[in-house]
Amino acid sequence: MIVQNYFHVQKITFAGVGINPMVADPNDVVKRPLLCYGLLISTFFHMIIIAHYILSHIKEYDEVTDSFPLMCQAILSIWKMSIFLSKRKDILQLINDLHQLNLKAEQDELTIVRRENTNDAFVSNIYFKIVLATGTFAFIHPLIYGLFVYITSGKLVLVEANKATYFWNYTHIGGYSIVFLLNFLTSYYVCDVSLAIDTLFTWFVRNILAQFQILMHRFQLIAKECNKDASNGTGPGSSQYRNPKKYFWPIIKCIQYHRKTLALAERLNQVYVCSEICCLVFSVSRPNYSVFDAVYKVLFLTAVTLQLSLYCYNGQRIKDESMLVSTEIYTSFDWSHLGKPYKKLLLLPLMRAQKPSHLKGVFFEVDLSLYLWGISQLGILGFIVNSTNSALFGITPLFVVKLSSNNKALDMISRLKTSLMLITQHRPRKQKLLSVQFNKNRVNDEKQK
């Protein structure tokens, strides 16, 4: 084992929905079809009856916003699982390739792999505990509230965890048990799928970062030997240098390793181009708001904010680490004593590393600037809430969606955006001109009278 709890959270969360991510054959990825597809169907059914409830009570603001969190997360969990199953061949291949690279690392390079995977295990465990607490409280907080009311007043109050169009009578224990079971299954599926896909993303990023760091470590070792020879007057650029191609092959191997690492980052980008970042809409202030609901909303907000930060922070790290390769090459070698063949050879990775690897979408890149934008939108929305005494509090749903450069949809979106901008810019001017013309006509009529 490379490190304790290596790929541990990912394995247990995928196993929770009947999937084995360690298999080589994509056809064997669904280990327990009944568990996997049964949870998917029950969550889809719950999402439908929640959507029906929202449409039926669209004018009841408080009731509708309370039903949004679970429905949004259910949609996103179903979407993420569908993407995983449809791209399971590419995902499993990427997992196996990274496993093999980690196992082939040298002893000094293994320290880098262990450090990154230790950090990944730490963050994944924190995320696991927060999501587990949120999911647990999501379906038991009505029971806690009902127990509290029963102890204090002696009345039996059966409150559903999430409002939906339940087409059976749940005012008695039998019907309410079915409602409770349905909410439990949906909460379990939403939390488990989110944990599995999100922690798998962080594991991918951490191990790709380890490959970039291993690459820089290898360049450092080569540069150390070159600089040592240069200090003795036998460097690649000196007249006494007898083996002009001594370091050619190690540098070429580093360039090949650089290309392989860049390909891994691009494959990750292709796998996660349709993955969700966050989605949250709910009501936070009502006169009849209970402390149990408030605790649930705080936990939910914390989990979704952490979910957003996982994607944005790791996207930023891939971008930064890929660009650090050029800095490492430039600062490690003594360029004044390098011969022209070495300078030309090192110029290739130096120039390529200046183009960062990143997770990209149509309108944005997944980095810390996106996280800052999301938080700023939250602040603006909070300001609107305070100024209008409204009860809405949320984070806009964001999607990492990529269209290829030759896709007609991208051109259509840009044209639509341009048209909307033109309409927005010219409409006020046209209204002003019409108003002025109307005033002139009215003045002329008054003069004639």
Q: What is the pLDDT of residues 34-89, one digit of tens each?
A: 999 999 999 999 899 888 888 888 777 666 777 777 888 888 889 889 889 988 99
Asked whether residue 275 falls in the same domain as residue 421, the answer is no
The yes-or-no verdict on residue 150 having pLDDT over 80 is no
199 occurs within a structural domain? yes
- The rounded distance, in Å, linking the Cα atoms of 337 and 383 is 60
Asked whether residue 193 falls in the same domain as residue 248, the answer is yes
Give the residue from 99, 83, 85, 90 showing the smallest Cα distance to 22.
99
Predicted pLDDT of residue 245: 67
Asked whether residue 438 falls in the same domain as residue 380, the answer is no
Predicted pLDDT of residue 128: 92
87 occurs within a structural domain? yes
Instruction: List pLDDT tens digits, range 267-302.
Output: 988 887 665 544 444 444 444 456 666 777 778 778
1 occurs within a structural domain? no
- The rounded distance, in Å, linking the Cα atoms of 101 and 93 is 12
- CB-CB contact of 392 with 65 (8 Å): yes
349 occurs within a structural domain? yes
Asked whether residue 340 falls in the same domain as residue 426, the answer is no
Asked whether residue 281 falls in the same domain as residue 380, the answer is yes
2 occurs within a structural domain? no
342 occurs within a structural domain? yes
Q: Is 233 left (phi over 0), alpha (psi -120 to 50) or beta?
A: left
Domains of the chain: total: 2
Predicted pLDDT of residue 19: 93
Which amino acid, residue 285? S
Question: Which of residues 423 and 287 earns the better pLDDT score?
Answer: 287
Predicted pLDDT of residue 148: 78
373 occurs within a structural domain? yes
pTM for the structure as a whole: 0.78
Asked whether residue 22 falls in the same domain as residue 108, the answer is yes
Asked whether residue 341 falls in the same domain as residue 434, the answer is no
Positive/negative CA dihedral, 283, 287, 293, 298: positive
Asked whether residue 15 falls in the same domain as residue 124, the answer is yes
Asked whether residue 349 falls in the same domain as residue 441, the answer is no
Q: What is the domain extent for residue 446?
A: 410-449
Asked whether residue 193 falls in the same domain as residue 112, the answer is yes
Asked whether residue 39 falls in the same domain as residue 125, the answer is yes
292 occurs within a structural domain? yes
Question: Which of residues 373 and 177 earns the better pLDDT score?
Answer: 177
Mean pLDDT of 197-211: 92
Asked whether residue 387 falls in the same domain as residue 418, the answer is no
